[in-house]
Amino acid sequence: MAEQKNSAERQTLRRVMQDLRRYQGWLILTVLLAVVTVALTLYVPILIGRAIDRIQGAGLVDFSALTRILVTVGTSVGVTALAQWVMSIIHNKIAFEVVEDIRNRAISRIEQLPLSYLDRQPTGVTVSRMISDVDQFADGLLMGFTQLFTGILTILGTLIFMLSIHPGITLVVFVMTPLSLFAAAFIAKRTYSMFRLQAETRAEQTAVINETITNQKVVQAFGHEPEAMAQFDEINDRLTAASLKATFYSSLTNPCTRFVNALVYAAVGLTGALAAIRGTMTVGQLSCFLSYANQYTKPFNEISGVVTELQNALACADRVFALIDEPTERPDAPDAITLEHAAGAVRFDDISFSYTKDRPLISHCSVDVTPGQRVAIVGPTGCGKTTLINLIMRFYDVNDGAVRIDGTDLRGITRHSLRGQIGMVLQDTWLKAATVRENIRMGKPDATDEEIITAAKAAHAHSFIKRLPQGYDTVISDRSGALSQGQRQLLCIARLMLCLPPMLILDEATSSIDTRTEQKIQSAFRKMMQGRTSFVVAHRLSTIREADLILVMKDGQIIEQGDHTSLLERNGFYAELYRAQFAHTTAAEA
């Protein structure tokens, strides 16, 4: 298990390094700047040591030499500050551009994922990977850039400078170095899995928060607040425990390395004092050496902190890469054709489909739809009506058989061109955060204002749009409280009426609209459907009487098909549904 974890960590680190390759020039520049920074930082203690040696006592101070030394110190500090500032800019540029690239790849992958992935993955988990995990990765990467290079160079440079002053005392410092390395390794081994668990639990919490807030009305309507709070508290407790463990071990970094630093400093002070007494080094050199001892041990402290942050960053990066590596939906066939000006002949050729292998839904279903036919799909909830629509749109591929348009298997048509030939209005509306005009224009980006207004009028949406604060320029969103569910659905209908593709799918398109407006829209739909192959999913059977073909589904099978009159005469399942619906309506009116 530990070997698998280390292998996964190495693989993640390798991928991060691959992402950094295109910044090779910038990285080389930062290394050079780090060399300059470290060299000047380590040169300053030598200058200060020389300054101390120029002060021998009362009346024995070489002021001219001190002035030159102090000017050199000031210049070195200024150049160091400038180099660090430039390094900081470069590090920020690299870190945030890498993060931008990862987010672009992640959202691009989400756009290509099959709907089956989104069906089984809570939205909050995906959002957490895109936002929180990438931010954590950016913070760790930035800290690694900022402190890792300079820390390593400081250690190497300090050793070289100390060797040039007193090899014996340098040996004391070097011998005690493994203590810091042991402390850093001990912490690093224990933090990766803890930070990964913390990231996973945080994602789970985000999913619950998203779910609860999105459906707050339902939670309150059913008095589900105590259960929602209990679920949140349970996850929050696990997140607290995981965070405490991760924080505890990462918090060991500072005291452990500081303790080692104190031991090294004490050893250098003791041996250096003895050397000064014996006359093998001056007081200025001792002061310089003590400064080096402090600078030598400080990077170990910083590097240990960097290692902790990098563990967290790699844990988060691993989760983001897992999203990026999710298999995409089956790509279009190399010889797939581009569908243009579809006639609208649709054939379900002995198709079978199931969302999960152990629960078959549609089995050996066959039906022919001629161009321009209005097809209604009816049946009880869960019988497969919307699934049939999903197969036409190729949101899912059939397990067996084939769905054909104009004689061509959908799997031999590019998805983009297929969906460009079909317009949809669903029961579940979706509006993007934009103006009303931009939402209606979504299916036809080059539409003029006159065309947009005409479509809105046809959808009976123009009147309420004009009452909005800025009319067609009012900014709305999918969760905007300014619009009712019915108004959102009217905008989706207007969106369809603007582009009017050769084929139409209306899945409970008027479910949230009042009866009077629905009658007007149905009239507009009838005009819109003329000459277009149309599929209408409806629970209100009164709305599909004029359909050319009615498909009656039950348990994933088309058990009856025909027009309204012939199905009533057959006195089968459709007739039962029709009589039951109108008997219910009559009773309600009474």
Q: Locate 97 and state its tokens.
A: 């551009």
**pLDDT, tens only, 391-448:** 998 888 888 999 999 999 999 999 888 888 888 887 777 788 888 999 899 878 888 9
pLDDT in the model for residue 405: 92
- Tell me the Ramachandran region of residue 555: left when phi exceeds 0, alpha when psi lies from -120 to 50, beta otherwise: left
Q: Each residue of 162-212: pLDDT tens digit? A: 787 778 877 877 777 667 667 666 766 667 678 778 878 888 888 888 778
Q: Does pTM surpass 0.75?
A: no
Three-class SS of residue 363? strand
> Could you tell me if residue 509 is left (phi over 0), alpha (psi between -120 and 50 degrees) or otherwise beta?
alpha
Which residues, 6 or more positions from 13, have their beta carbon under 8 angstroms from its beta carbon? 314
Length of the chain: 590
Classify domain 92-324 by CATH number: 1.20.1560.10
Strand partners, 374: 534
Q: Measuring CA to CA, which residue among 98, 170, 169 is closest to residue 137?
A: 98
Beta bridge partners of 405: 346, 408
Which residues are registered as beta bridge partners of 55? Answer: 61
Q: Which stretches of the chain drop beneath a pLDDT of 70?
A: 1-9, 56-61, 142-143, 145-146, 177-178, 180-181, 183-185, 187-190, 192, 217, 253-254, 297, 300-302, 304-305, 308, 478-481, 509-512, 542, 582-590
Per DSSP, what are the bridge partners of residue 359?
A: 356
Residue among 92, 85, 99, 155 at smallest CA distance from 302:
155
| pLDDT at res. 151 | 78
- Provide the token pair at 197: 């668990």
User: How many angstroms from the chain centroid is the CA of residue 280?
Assistant: 62
pLDDT of residue 588: 42
The candidate with the shortest Cα–Cα distance to 317, out of 3, 10, 61, is 10
**What is the C-alpha separation between 345 and 375, in angstroms, rounded?**
12
Amino acid, res. 335:
D
Determine the Cα–Cα distance for residues 47 and 82; give it in Å rounded to an integer: 20
Q: With beta carbons less than 8 A apart as the criterion, state whether 503 and 417 touch.
A: no
Q: What is the pLDDT of residue 512?
A: 64
Which candidate, 199, 182, 178, 176, places its Cα nearest to that of 253?
A: 182
Domain extents in the chain: 92-324
CB hemisphere CA count around 196 (13 angstroms): 19
